[in-house]
């Protein structure tokens, strides 16, 4: 009689895949390295095939091992969702919510909305994590996050999207160089445009919203942030596009730039929440989204 893999064995396998190191995987699993190694060996014996290639310096998963990890993660997510289902049935507005936030939202919106969320949903405990969009998507699919505050659209697989509110883009010019209080999108000089590096969703959303291709946009400011780009604009090295929430949060204070709106279009990115469709806590996340939407619309409330 053959026995199915245990959840513990699957967790060990997923932990090893995440860390690519037996010692780190054991620490993450709160067991000794020998216990974790034995658990994975037992899993391999049970399945009658090798999942991990071991050397003194590296860990490499076989093709079957990679597929096993993917399916094991889905199984573990389903098990965790069962636990969440029971908790949500008791009180959907109580408990911990692990929320990821992208860097072009977190510093500008969270200070405004987190206090309001605490008042509206006092029994909900937010655990926040700031990462790039692709990394947050991976964490969501791996079950390490419950919900993500994103700029939509962003393809994160089989996820539910809850649009919350639009965030308008504006253009920032060096002080005194703006053509006026507003500008036509065709007048924006792409060769002077300073943007975040490729891979940042803000870059893609800004270009799309402003009907630009970005092929001639300058790229010397890789691995940086809006707070770094603005002084470059102030010094006369170019222009940039900013989300309205960043301007409202005071990102341009004490920086010599002119903020200009668009006369022909209303370029926006949609701020919203996403979560796994299989997660049973949808009512919790919807309540959280409504609280964020309300707080963003009434920041002084």
Q: Where are the domains of the chain?
A: 7-86, 94-165+269-297, 167-268
State which fold the 94-165+269-297 domain adopts.
D-Maltodextrin-Binding Protein; domain 2 (3.40.190)
Residue 48 gets the label, from left (phi > 0), alpha (psi -120 to 50) or beta, of: left
Q: Residue 169's closest CA among 151, 153, 155? A: 151
Q: What is the pLDDT of residues 39-66, one digit of tens each?
A: 999 999 988 899 999 877 788 999 999 9
pLDDT for position 224? 67
Question: What CATH code would you report for 7-86?
Answer: 1.10.10.10
% of the chain with per-residue pLDDT over 70: 91
Q: Residue 298's closest CA among 130, 117, 97? A: 117
> Does pLDDT of 1 surpass 50?
no
Pairing status of strand 95-101 against strand 124-130? parallel
> Does pLDDT of 217 surpass 70?
no
> Does pLDDT of 203 surpass 90?
no
* Peptide linkage before 153 cis (omega within 30 of 0): yes
pLDDT for position 209? 76
Which 8-state DSSP code applies to residue 252? T
Report the alpha-carbon distance of residue 269 to residue 246 in Å, rounded. Answer: 13
Report the alpha-carbon distance of residue 83 to residue 62 in Å, rounded. Answer: 31
Instruction: Give the pLDDT band of residue 99 (cuts 50, 70, 90).
Output: very high
pLDDT for position 301? 45
State which fold the 167-268 domain adopts.
D-Maltodextrin-Binding Protein; domain 2 (3.40.190)
Most distant CA atoms of the chain, gap in Å: 80
Tell me if 7-86 shares its fold with 167-268: no
Q: What is the pLDDT of residues 148-190, one digit of tens each?
A: 999 988 889 889 999 999 999 999 999 999 888 898 888 888 8
């Amino acid at each position: 009689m053959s026995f199915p893999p245990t959840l513990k064995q699957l967790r060990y396998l997923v932990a090893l895949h995440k860390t690519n190191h037996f010692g780190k995987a054991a620490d993450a699993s709160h067991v000794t390295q020998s216990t974790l190694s034995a658990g994975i060996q037992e899993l391999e014996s049970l399945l009658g095939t090798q999942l991990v290639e071991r050397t003194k310096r590296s860990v490499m998963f076989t093709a079957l091992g990679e597929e096993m990890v993917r399916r094991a993660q889905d199984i573990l997510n389903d098990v965790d969702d069962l636990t969440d289902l029971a908790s949500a049935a008791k009180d959907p507005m109580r408990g911990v919510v692990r929320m990821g936030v992208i860097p072009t939202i977190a510093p500008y919106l969270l200070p405004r909305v987190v206090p309001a969320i605490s008042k509206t949903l006092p029994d909900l405990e937010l655990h926040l994590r700031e990462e790039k969009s692709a990394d947050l998507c991976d964490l969501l699919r791996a079950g390490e996050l419950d919900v993500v505050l994103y700029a939509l659209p962003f393809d994160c697989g089989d996820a539910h999207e809850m649009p919350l509110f639009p965030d308008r883009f504006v253009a920032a010019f060096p002080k005194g160089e703006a053509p006026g209080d507003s500008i036509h999108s065709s007048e924006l000089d792409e060769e002077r445009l300073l943007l975040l590096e490729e891979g940042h969703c803000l870059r893609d959303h800004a270009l799309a919203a402003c009907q630009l291709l970005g092929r001639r946009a300058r790229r010397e400011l890789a691995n940086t942030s809006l707070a770094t780009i603005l002084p470059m604009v102030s010094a006369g090295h170019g222009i940039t596009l900013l989300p309205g929430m960043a301007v409202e949060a005071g990102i341009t204070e004490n920086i010599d730039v002119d903020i200009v709106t668009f006369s022909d279009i209303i370029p926006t990115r949609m701020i919203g929440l996403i979560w796994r469709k299989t997660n049973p806590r949808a009512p919790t996340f919807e309540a959280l989204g409504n609280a964020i939407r309300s707080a963003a619309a009434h920041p002084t409330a």
